[in-house]
Structure 1
Amino acid sequence: MTKAPIQIGNKVLGGGSPLITMPFVGKTIEALAEECRTALEHQPDLVEWRADYFEGIEDPARALEGLTTLADGLGGIPLLFTLRSALEGGAQVLTDETRLTVIKAVVDAGRVSLVDIEAASPQTLIEPVRELTRNAGVALILSSHDFKATPEVDDMVARLVKAQSLGADVVKLAVMPQSREDVLNLMLASVRYNDLPDATHAVTISMSGDGLITRLAAGFSHSVITFCAGKGVSAPGQVPADDMRGPMMLLAQHLR
């Protein structure tokens, strides 16, 4: 698997600067429209629709209604579609069959640039989603989350490698630190994974306030996406996009 940059709408993932990504967690069409206005004001590089927060998402027609609202309201900002499993922080309990049906409807609509599902999902979900995204030219993120702790460095690297082996275009790992050492270990795992000769693009996050440095210094540890706060947050530790840009730009000027 090569590590060539991935064109995401008018942005480049893996092009040297992490993409600042604003999550949308609105439950209604009206809330999504308001989040679009926030995005237009702050101009993130990417928007993540956490569709598991959206009421009625189990109905593909309702999902497409929300998707249309976003596509029409974002002014060309690329869209990442995430229908998170309740087992890894999703806001609703949905069957894998329902999730696959909704993901297929959304991908077939041709208005998303990336899709995120969990690397721990059964192959009966991963394989058809991987085929859908490849056929549509949509990048697939396979993600792993630990909201309680930070695993050992070797374990974190292994999780990223496992996600890659399942066919991810981008691998993602988010963990909860219990100490500053945990934060540093997440960054070390990110660097070690990136140093592997066949590594693909990675998104690595240490959550909560202690882990804020991993969001601001995402480029230092080779993380290609960093998440900011929008009208709401989708994970602990997210801060507004405008507060992230200055430190990220300063760091980027000094990275080689």
Structure 2
Amino acid sequence: MGEVVVKNFTFGDGTPRICVPLIGRTEDEIRSHANLIRDELDSLDTRYENFPELKVAVIEWRADFFEPLADLDRTKRVLEMLREYFPDRLILFTFRSEEQGGELRHDRVGSNLEPIMSFVIRSGLIDMVDIECTHGNYKIARATTGAHQMGVTVIMSYHDFEKTPHDDEMIEKIRDMEILGGDILKIAVMPSNEFDTRRMMDINKRMVSESYKPIAIIAMGEKGTASRFKCKETGCCMTFATVGQESAPGQMELLDLVALLRNQ
């Protein structure tokens, strides 16, 4: 597996990087959540100052929750706010489509989806962007090329909130995302049992040796908990934890995740 360096953080070097989602429907809600996250980050940094690998690397703005997303001035204000709150972390911009389990309704943004993505990528205010592999190859290529031209790292993602697909399907998706230009390849699926979770962890471990990109395969929900912290075993490059609000089923509280990672 290859490594991807984004500012002071390396993905794919054997250390799972922690990402905390930030959620809010209004600017005030986002500011409130940012304050909460900032306080917890400062507390953790002090507690684990001798363990830099436990430092939260990424703040993911789940922009699909933001009601006035199509208002580019307001979207830019939020990005500037996040830069102010988290100058020492990476900012990941994500708007998750309804089809992939998100809040982004097309009736709210209409045909503005691509212009919003392009505006954010060109803003100079983000370090990483999530691009869903279900958008169609032409749109994916256009967004990925634009991101790379601006020095923005692409997390290419696929989500299934209903089931865990067959192994061959998951492996094919990873290889497709690799070809489509993703810098970090992420898959999150819903296991029916612990066997499904184990399958996903084994696929992550296998693809780490076969792919030249960092990989994060996550099993969601309570049955998938092990996949979120046994990252050194599987080679999973990135894991998600919540502060106050979860953005996907089964996300652990940040304090709990850090404690588990510390003991791995």
TM-score by length of 2: 0.89
1:57 aligns to 2:55 (yes or no): no
Structure 1: where are the runs of 5+ without partners? 252-256
The answer (yes or no) to whether the contact 2:20–2:243 under 8 Å persists in 1 is yes
For residue 172 of structure 1, the aligned residue among 182, 186, 189 is 186
1:130 aligns to 2:144 (yes or no): yes
2:197 aligns with 183
1:21 is aligned with what amino acid? Answer: C
Pairing of 1:73-88 with structure 2 (within 5 A): 73-88=85-100
Distance across 1 between alignment mates of 2:204 and 2:12: 14
1:34 aligns to 2:32 (yes or no): yes
Distance across 2 between alignment mates of 1:58 and 1:166: 27
What SS does the aligned partner of 2:28 have?
helix
2:255 is aligned with what amino acid? Answer: D
Identity across aligned pairs (percent)? Answer: 27
Q: CA deviation at 1:163?
A: 1.0
Distance across 1 between alignment mates of 2:213 and 2:23: 28
The answer (yes or no) to whether the contact 1:60–1:101 under 8 Å persists in 2 is no
2:12 aligns with 14
2:198 is aligned with what amino acid? Answer: L
Stretch deviating more after TM superposition (5-14 or 230-239): 5-14
Distance across 2 between alignment mates of 1:219 and 1:61: 41
1:248 aligns with 261
Q: CA deviation at 1:96?
A: 7.8
How many residues of Structure 1 are paired with residues of Structure 2 in the alignment?
248
Cα RMSD between the aligned structures?
Answer: 1.6
1:254 aligns with none
1:155 aligns with 169
What SS does the aligned partner of 2:38 have?
helix
The answer (yes or no) to whether the contact 1:154–1:189 under 8 Å persists in 2 is no
The answer (yes or no) to whether the contact 2:95–2:102 under 8 Å persists in 1 is yes
Q: CA deviation at 1:199?
A: 3.0
1:72 aligns to 2:72 (yes or no): no
The answer (yes or no) to whether the contact 1:191–1:221 under 8 Å persists in 2 is yes
The answer (yes or no) to whether the contact 1:161–1:193 under 8 Å persists in 2 is no
2:155 aligns with 141
Distance across 2 between alignment mates of 1:124 and 1:160: 18
Structure 2: where are the runs of 5+ without partners? 42-55
The answer (yes or no) to whether the contact 2:12–2:213 under 8 Å persists in 1 is no
For residue 104 of structure 2, the aligned residue among 92, 100, 110 is 92
For residue 121 of structure 1, the aligned residue among 126, 130, 135 is 135
Distance across 2 between alignment mates of 1:124 and 1:161: 17
For residue 234 of structure 1, the aligned residue among 247, 251, 256 is 247
Distance across 2 between alignment mates of 1:48 and 1:176: 21
